[in-house]
Structure 1
């Protein structure tokens, strides 16, 4: 799974709102139905453009319990594929649309929120398992050997 995330992260991946400001961090629950935060909240007042964090296909763009939600399924991330979710939003794309990383796909909407000035909830799932969406942004630097100093040679 992490190999697929790393491969995706090494391709084009971007923050869904710019500038990014994390209001509420990832806090996974201890149990599947336990309390926690299954994504991150980014500061984003209503009307803020929302960008696709990675290229993919829109697999849901609509309302759930009166709140606008957008889901993008990311190809090439093994089975089941990774999906990113964004809420509350006004989708600007329809189900089936292919999008590129950084493409504006929605605007933030007013919604029930614990963020006083509005925010975007950004999630990442593989099947029914929630993951930290910041994994998409991880940029792995190549390894580099450095000289070791201050260590006595074995003799």
Structure 2
């Protein structure tokens, strides 16, 4: 509500002593005008900026695309040149039909088929210029180009193939512009290494082997 100091007309002040119905009605109308909040005209911008929608930008949360800590069938092997041999991503063990999650929040920038494989790309806003972009293949997308996605939410299912692995796997890529990066660099240490160490209770822990008996 927008408030302002409005000078009180001297004529109205003088009329207050006249307690006639006409004067009382005029005073009531004036009080109603002062108590009514100002409404912006159509087409004008609101005074307060709207709240961003969920998933509109990368919020820093990270998730494995498949499973809780999948085996890496083949790691990232950057080529010596743009057209050299190498492995431009990582292959994560998973069976066809497995849900594929958004490793980070962003906007779907590509959905289609490349070399016979279903490919999905997600651009991560706020991650530099040009922004980071993650890719998945082979997949059956559950989203469309332009959709906003939230980190950890399913965006596709793993397709049966063709695949980089004989038993099925997800090929996960990471790019900045045309430069390929290691996708595992997106994940925090607790996801890569199973979390921080924890103290175990003393009871139930096996005793160390005896030096005399060799147990």
Q: TM-score, normalised by structure 2?
A: 0.59
Q: Which runs of 4+ in 1 moved over 4 A?
A: none
Cα offset for 1:111?
1.7
Match of 2:67 among 18, 35, 42: 18
Unaligned runs of at least 5 residues, structure 1: 1-7, 141-155
Describe the superposition over 1:19-47 as per-residue Cα deviations: whole angstroms up to 9, x where unpaired: 31111111111111111000000011110
SS of alignment partner, residue 109 of structure 2:
strand
Aligned to 2:107: 57
Q: Distance in 1 between matches of 2:187 and 2:58?
A: 6
Give the conservation status (yes or no) of the 8 Å contact 1:9–1:137.
no
- Could you give the per-residue CA deviations for residues 120-146 of structure 1, whole angstroms, max 9, x where no partner exists? 000000000000001100349xxxxxx
Q: Does 1:38 align with 2:88?
A: yes
Number of positions where the alignment pairs a residue of Structure 1 with one of Structure 2: 133
Normalised to the residue count of structure 1, the TM-score between the two structures is 0.81
Structure 2: runs of 5+ lacking an equivalent: 1-56, 191-215
Give a deviation string over 1:59-106, Cα, whole Å, max 9, x none. 111212221000000000111110000000000000111001111000
Instruction: Name the structure where strand makes up a greater proportion of residues.
Output: 1
RMSD across aligned positions (CA):
1.9
Structure with higher Rg: it is 2
Which structure is higher in RCO with an 8 Å CA cutoff and minimum separation 6? 1
